[in-house]
Structure 1
C-alpha cells in the first residue's frame, strides 16, 4: 500500500461507487410510496442512488458520491431496513430481532484484499465492527463480481461499509470488470408454428437454439449429450405458471440432474423456461419428487432435457431403466 494514496484521501472524501444487490421487496421499501423515500435519501445524503430495471426478482442499487455522502445513504438504508424488521415483528411472536442484512456487489479482483492474507482482514473487520461479513466463494452469474454479505445492527453495518470502502480505494479492481446484471424474472418464450421466440421489449425475436430444442422435444429423438453443444440461455427463466407436472426420481440419480453446485438443473431451467423444484429427501423414501411448472411447451422441453440427461448417464452406466414418471 502506497502511503501517498491514503494521505491523498485526506478525510477519505473521494468519489466512489458502491453497488448493492436487493430483492424486490427491499427495493420497494427503499423507493417508498411514489418514490418519496428514495427522493428523501438522495436529498439528505447528497449521494446519487440509481435502481436497475424493474422486471427482475433481484435489483442492483448503485450509490455514487463522495464517501461521506455514501455513508449517509448507507445509514439511511440500514435504518430503513431495521424499521421494516421491527414493523414485521410487531405482528409475529418472534422475540429476538433479526439483524439487518445488506449485500454488496464487489469486483472479484478486490475480494482478496477484503479477505486479507489467511482471512486476516475480514477477521479484523468482524472484530472491530461487530458485523458479520461473508464473501461469496463463487462469482455472480455471467459476471466477474462477488456478493459480500454484511449483517448486524445498522451501526455495525455502517462501520463495516466504511472499512470496506477504505480497502476498495486502496486496492482498485484489476483488469476489466464484467458487472453482474440480474436476469429478468421471465423473458417469455413463445412457441409458434414450430418456431421459438423470446420477447424483447415489444418484439418477438426468433431463437434458433430454442427452436431446435423445441423441435427435438416434440419429436423425442435421441439427443446429443447436454452441455456440449448447447449454450445456456441467460434470462429464459420461469415463465408464468400455466400448468404443473410431477416426476419421481430415485434418490441415487438426483445428483446427475442437479449437477455440480446446481449447474445442470440451472441449465435445464434456463433452456426450458420452466420452474423446476426438487423436493427434499423424505425419511425412509428412496425417491425424490420433481415439480415442473410452466407452459405446456416449457414443461415438455424441461421433461425432454431431464430425460436426455438420464440417457447420457444411462449410456455411461449402460442402464437405461433409470426413471419413473408419476
Structure 2
C-alpha cells in the first residue's frame, strides 16, 4: 500500500535548505534574522569577498528570513543613495546557489517555468549558463522589489521541493582572497582563476558590478565592469632572459603553457630562437604595464615550481 504523503498547502512547511551568495560581513544582522525568523542561518567562514549564507528550516521560516534579507538590502540601497545623485532606485538583487540538476526544472521546457515566474512575480530571474567554479551548482539571480523577490523565492522553493537534486552535488565554496597580490601601475591585483582582479579594497564595488557582467574579462580587454582600468595605457616592452634548460617549462607541451600565460596576462609574449653558442633565450613581453607585470609574475611562478620540483630529483 502506498504511504499517504502529508502535503501541506503549496508544498510548504517542509524543511528546506536554500543557499545564498552575499558580500561582506553582516554578522549582527544575521543574528537578528535568526532570532526573528526562526530559521537556521549559517555564513561560510573565510576571508572571501563572497560568503555563502545557508538558510535551513520549515519553508515559512525561510520566507521570513528571505523577506528580512530583501528588506535589509533595500534599506542598504536607500542609504547608499542618500549621498548619491542617482534618482531611480536600483532593484534589490539576491543570488541563490542552486544544484545544477535542479536548474532544468526552474527553467522549464523551453524556458516556460522561468517565464511564468517572471510574469507572475514581476521579479527578474536569471539562471547562470555555467556552473560556479569547482562545483555542480549554478547561480540564480533574482532582482526586483523585496515583495517580488519573496514571491519568487516561494515559487523557487516549491520547484526545488517537487524536483530534488539528482546525484551528488558538489557545493560551491568561494575562494579565499589569500591569493598572490601583484602591484602594477599603483593598483593592486589578485589572481582569481585565470584573471587578475583588483584587490579586495576595490573588490567589493567592482565585484558587484562585475557580477552583472560575468564572466570576467582578462585584463587588457577592458570592460565597463572595471572603471578603474583605463581603456589602453600606452603599451611598453619588457625583456627577460631565461636559461635554455628551463624554457621548456614556460612553453609547455606544444606551447600550452605559454599560450595560457598570454591569455591570462593579456600581454604579447615572443620567445626568440636559440642563438648558437648561447645558453639563454630572450623573451619579449609587450603590453600595458599591468599586462607585463602579470606575465612576469606568471612566468616566475612557472620557473619557481619547476626549480623547486627539480630539487627533489
Interval of TM-score (by shorter of Structure 1 and Structure 2): 0.5 to 0.7
- 8 Å Cα contact 1:220/1:304 also seen in 2: no
Moved more, 171-180 or 266-275: 266-275
How far residue 173 of structure 1 moved from its aligned partner, in angstroms, is: 0.2
Moved more, 86-95 or 278-287: 278-287
Quickly say closer, same or farther: Cα 1:271–1:213, change in 2 above 3 A: farther
Map 1:265-284 → 2, pairs under 5 A = none
Quickly say closer, same or farther: Cα 1:167–1:55, change in 2 above 3 A: same
Quickly say closer, same or farther: Cα 1:143–1:33, change in 2 above 3 A: closer
Q: 3-state SS of the aligned residue for 2:282?
A: strand
Which structure 1 segments of 5+ residues have no match? 24-31, 311-317
Quickly say closer, same or farther: Cα 1:134–1:206, change in 2 above 3 A: closer
Distance 1:11 1:244 in 2: 63
Distance 1:89 1:9 in 2: 40
For residues 182-213 of structure 1, give each alpha carbon's deviation from its aligned partner in whole angstroms, at most 9, with x where no partner exists. Answer: 00112459999999999999999999999999
Map 1:55-74 → 2, pairs under 5 A = 55-74=47-66
- 8 Å Cα contact 1:131/1:157 also seen in 2: yes
Moved more, 38-47 or 6-15: 6-15
Matched with 1:313 is none
Quickly say closer, same or farther: Cα 1:75–1:246, change in 2 above 3 A: farther
Matched with 1:264 is 257
How far residue 39 of structure 1 moved from its aligned partner, in angstroms, is: 1.3
For residues 55-106 of structure 1, give each alpha carbon's deviation from its aligned partner in whole angstroms, at most 9, with x where no partner exists. Answer: 0111100001100000000000000000000001111111100000000000
For residues 32-69 of structure 1, give each alpha carbon's deviation from its aligned partner in whole angstroms, at most 9, with x where no partner exists. Answer: 99943211100110001111113011110000110000
How far residue 300 of structure 1 moved from its aligned partner, in angstroms, is: 6.8
Distance 2:262 2:176 in 1: 14
Quickly say closer, same or farther: Cα 1:221–1:118, change in 2 above 3 A: closer
Moved more, 258-267 or 144-153: 258-267
- 8 Å Cα contact 2:217/2:223 also seen in 1: no
- 8 Å Cα contact 1:18/1:104 also seen in 2: yes
- 8 Å Cα contact 1:47/1:63 also seen in 2: yes
Matched with 1:205 is 197
How far residue 215 of structure 1 moved from its aligned partner, in angstroms, is: 37
Please give the root-mean-square deviation of Cα atoms over the aligned residues, in Å.
14.8
- 8 Å Cα contact 2:125/2:140 also seen in 1: yes
- 8 Å Cα contact 2:220/2:291 also seen in 1: no
How far residue 286 of structure 1 moved from its aligned partner, in angstroms, is: 35
- 8 Å Cα contact 1:189/1:239 also seen in 2: no
Q: 3-state SS of the aligned residue for 1:83?
A: helix
TM-score under structure 1 length normalisation: 0.58
Distance 2:290 2:37 in 1: 49
- Say how many residue pairs are matched: 311
- 8 Å Cα contact 1:55/1:185 also seen in 2: yes
Quickly say closer, same or farther: Cα 1:273–1:100, change in 2 above 3 A: same
- 8 Å Cα contact 2:262/2:268 also seen in 1: yes
Pick one of 116, 119, 122 that aligns with 2:111: 119
Quickly say closer, same or farther: Cα 1:205–1:272, change in 2 above 3 A: closer
